[in-house]
Amino acid sequence: MARRGIVKKLTHLDGEGHARMVDVGAKEVTLRTAVASATVRIGEELHALIVSRRVPKGDVLGVARIAGIMAAKRTSELIPLCHPLALDSVEVMVTLEANAVAIRASVRTTGRTGVEMEALTAASVAALAFYDMCKSIDRAMVIERVQLEEKHGGKSGAYTRGVRSRRKADSRGK
């Protein structure tokens, strides 16, 4: 796969192009963290019901938070070829904003592989759970911008959304 003149090896494919689980046994055990986010756009009526605590299904923000935590813990069952990980910490914040619900999931482990997929799964499932709890009120909700915000640890180093990696820029000769 070529991107900006860089050829990257797809680690989930063997020499014949078949999907495989990556062997992480030789990787160094390090602290690994990831943060992901998602946004659910909502209408005024739903916003008012949440503020006044009158959503018929109850604490929709709390349910979304718990769903995200549970999902992070089961990522390897949902995403093919993900390693099952012993997570040290999962935090999911679900915050009501003016016309949206903001979700931020932080995951941490000490291990041989990163937790980006666990953070992204937590944010995604929290958004889906919120949608499920509120769909009878607002079917026009939109789940958007599910994205990795940052990751730390491991051989590839740190990533922060919107910050250009110096190491990668240097390797391209820029």
- Give 31-49 pLDDT, tens digit per residue: 999 999 999 999 999 999 9
Question: In DSSP terms, which residues pair with 102 in a beta bridge?
Answer: 39, 95
Note whether 97 and 42 are within 8 A (CB). no
> 132 an active-site residue?
yes
Instruction: Give the pLDDT of residue 156.
Output: 81
pLDDT value for 163: 87
Rg (CA), the chain: 19
Structure tokens at 119: 């953070």
Chain position carrying tokens 């986010």: 37
Catalytic residue among 59, 132, 138, 170: 132
Q: What is the pLDDT of residue 157?
A: 83
Residue 15 pLDDT class (50, 70, 90 cuts): low
- Give the C-alpha separation, 137 to 135, whole Å: 5
pLDDT bin (cut points 50, 70, 90) of residue 112 is: confident
Distance in angstroms (rounded) separating the CA atoms of residues 152 and 21? 22
CA atoms within 13 A on the CB side of 105: 32
User: Does residue 26 or residue 33 have the better pLDDT?
Assistant: 33
